Every structure is written in structure tokens, then in C-alpha cells.
């Protein structure tokens, strides 16, 4: 699944992503760390995966593959 970074706080490594349908999904430091990123910026396209409870479990750049 893909989306666009809406917010990102470098201090907490958390933020939110807007899906293409306009749905906003928050992500936490665990999802950020799982993607192997160092930083995100507003408007950046990202790939994300959801866990069985529909919580973002991984977020990474759209040019990076999602970890398995």
C-alpha cells in the first residue's frame, strides 16, 4: 500500500500518512524503525504495511521494498 507523508516528528520518529483515498493513518516509532529509515519529509511517497489490527507496522520509501 502507498501513501504520502502528512506529518513526521523526528524526535519521536512518528507521524501520519495520507492514503490515496484521503484516509489518514498514524504510525509510531516501531513502524518507522522497521522500515530502516533515518528521516521523512512532508509530501514524500512511502510504502506501508498494516498488521492484522490495521495498524501501520512498517513504513519505508516508495523506492524501497517492504521487508518480509
pLDDT per residue over 27-50, tens digit each?
Answer: 999 999 999 888 999 999 999 999
Beta bridge partners of 27: 15
Q: How many Cβ atoms are within 10 Å of 51's Cβ, its own excluded?
A: 10
pLDDT at 63: 81
The pTM of the full predicted model, rounded to 2 decimals, is 0.86
Residues in the chain: 68
Asked whether 50 and 65 are in contact (CB, 8 A), the reply is: no
Q: Return the closest-CA partner of residue 65 out of 45, 48, 41.
A: 48
Least confident interval from 5-14, 19-28, 59-68:
59-68
Mean pLDDT for all residues in the chain:
92
pLDDT at 19: 94
Measured distance CA(32)–CA(37) in Å, rounded: 7
pLDDT at 68: 63
Amino acid at each position: 500500500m502507498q501513501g504520502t507523508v502528512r506529518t513526521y516528528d523526528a524526535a519521536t520518529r512518528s507521524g501520519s500518512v495520507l492514503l490515496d483515498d484521503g484516509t489518514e493513518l498514524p504510525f509510531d516509532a516501531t513502524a518507522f524503525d522497521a522500515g530502516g529509515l533515518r528521516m521523512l519529509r512532508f509530501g514524500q511517497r512511502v510504502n506501508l504495511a498494516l498488521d492484522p489490527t490495521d495498524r501501520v507496522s512498517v513504513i519505508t520509501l516508495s523506492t524501497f521494498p517492504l521487508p518480509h
